[in-house]
Amino acid sequence: MSTAVLTNRLDLDSVADSSLKAAARFWFVVTVIGQLMFAFAVASFYGLTALRGDFHGWSRFISRGYVSGDTLGNLAVVMHVGSAVGIMLAGALQLIPQIRNRFPAFHRWNGRIYMLTAVSLSIAGLYMTWIRGSVGDIFQHLGSSLNAVLIMLSAAMALRYALARDFKTHRRWALRLFLVASASWFLRLMFFLSLLLFGPVGFDPTTFRGPLLTFLSFASYLLPLAVLELYLRAQDRAGTLGRMATAVGLFVLTLAMVAGVFAVTMAIWVPQVKAAYDPRKSIAETLSATIASSGIDQATKQYHDLKAAEPATYNFDENELNSLGYQLIRSKKFKEAIRVFQLNVEAYPQSSNVYDSLAEGYMDDGNKPPAIANYQKSLELNPKNRGAVEMLRKLNAP
């Protein structure tokens, strides 16, 4: 082999190595930033609402957030979201090589905290899924439960190889643990990216069931685990082309993750942070308590009275009544949900979304004609509402 050919090969080889390293670094930076944003939104929302004593406000982002009298269930939610924040902070610190190499004692302690939070997060998640009850069907529940099992298994394996001082195998299990513990984050990215690109297809927005969510409840960890195995193989034994191809693939997937982080930030994290730092009282919260104690007529009167007397004290934003209506639908209180959505239509007559929700209330209550009329009105205000087109097709309407 001539010297020129050999030099070219060596050049290509080092380009492949640097590309793979750069792609991994890009992936890591996007993941850490995205997870810190998730942690910040969750800590701000659940933490600050709890400090204000507005525990019922949790139901805006979680189907069974705070339930009066269910001490164990409420503790499970606190343990779950608390561990979720802990695991994302500890995970980021654990994988940064500079910290790992310069502060080995910190790495060991942080690793123990990480494993402990992984186990408490999983146990609380299993309790919320199977005992307390949550959105989703049996297959989605099996998907998240397998996730919990893999989190605990990977934590045990990472610990075992660290204690045996087999750091190569420890590193592999630690990476697997990081990925399976990031499944919930990946799921949000994939779900909201799909929503941004294709609209509300593949799932039912009220029950959160459907083929897309079933697929994501497994793919959210199986896909990242498969990519990790490909990456580790490329690092160990792939040729120049293999490493180049892996680097390009990882780079493209990371770009998709950037789009996913953007989608979930706009859809969930910004509203969560806004709600966390909003000093106004939640009108949904107030009406929810009145519906439970005195019924929907009293709650409707209270809504009008408060809006007239204290418009700045309460939060009358569109999503307040909208989320209250969906909470009522989930509790099968369809008549109450319809009344709440009607109040929102009165307040926001130009919003396509409020008619869409009202239509859904009527549909779930088995009242087809007003469901069709409201889906049509929603479509008139927003011709891009693909969900309404789909529902009108199901209802055999023009």
Contacts with ligand HEM by CB under 6 A lie at 42, 61-64, 80-81, 84, 121-122, 125-126, 128-129, 134-135, 144-145, 147-148, 181, 183-184
d(CA 354, CA 377): 10
Q: In the bound complex, what is the minimum distance in angstroms from residue 108's beta carbon to ligand HEM?
A: 22
Q: In the bound complex, what is the minimum distance in angstroms from residue 59's beta carbon to ligand HEM?
A: 9
Distances (CA, A) of 122 to 89, 227, 240: 17, 23, 40
Q: In the bound complex, what is the minimum distance in angstroms from residue 33's beta carbon to ligand HEM?
A: 16
> Phi, psi at residue 385, to the nearest 5°?
-75, 90
Q: In the bound complex, what is the minimum distance in angstroms from residue 209's beta carbon to ligand HEM?
A: 12
Contact 24, 250 (CB under 8 A): yes
Q: In the bound complex, what is the minimum distance in angstroms from residue 123's beta carbon to ligand HEM?
A: 9
What secondary structure letter does DSSP report for 203? S
Q: Residue 366 CB: number of other CB atoms within 10 A?
A: 8
For residues 128 and 371, which CB has a smaller minimum distance to ligand HEM in the complex?
128
- Can you read off the two tokens belonging to residue 277? 């730092």
Q: In the bound complex, what is the minimum distance in angstroms from residue 61's beta carbon to ligand HEM?
A: 4
For residues 128 and 329, which CB has a smaller minimum distance to ligand HEM in the complex?
128
Q: In the bound complex, what is the minimum distance in angstroms from residue 352's beta carbon to ligand HEM?
A: 25
Q: In the bound complex, what is the minimum distance in angstroms from residue 184's beta carbon to ligand HEM?
A: 3
For residues 140 and 300, which CB has a smaller minimum distance to ligand HEM in the complex?
140
Length of the chain: 398
Q: Residue 39 CB: number of other CB atoms within 10 A?
A: 19
Helix (H) or strand (E) holding 281: strand 281-282
Q: What is the DSSP string of 116-183?
A: HHHHHHHHHHHHIIIII--SS-HHHHHHHHHHHHHHHHHHHHHHHHHHTT-HHHHHHHHHHHHHHHTH
Contact 263, 192 (CB under 8 A): yes
Q: In the bound complex, what is the minimum distance in angstroms from residue 50's beta carbon to ligand HEM?
A: 13
Helix (H) or strand (E) holding 287: helix 283-294
Q: Residue 207 CB: number of other CB atoms within 10 A?
A: 15
Contacts 24+ apart (CB under 8 A), 353-359: 353/318, 353/322, 353/378, 353/382, 354/318, 354/322, 355/381, 356/385, 356/387, 356/388, 357/322, 357/325, 357/326, 359/388, 359/391
d(CA 25, CA 176): 17
For residues 90 and 379, which CB has a smaller minimum distance to ligand HEM in the complex?
90
For residues 148 and 250, which CB has a smaller minimum distance to ligand HEM in the complex?
148
With CB atoms as reference, the residue minimizing the distance to ligand HEM is 125
Q: In the bound complex, what is the minimum distance in angstroms from residue 28's beta carbon to ligand HEM?
A: 18
For residues 80 and 339, which CB has a smaller minimum distance to ligand HEM in the complex?
80
Contact 33, 41 (CB under 8 A): no
**Which residues make Cβ contacts (< 8 Å) with residue 305, sequence separation at least 6?**
none
78: phi > 0 → left, psi -120 to 50 → alpha, else beta; which?
alpha
Strands 281-282 and 314-315: parallel
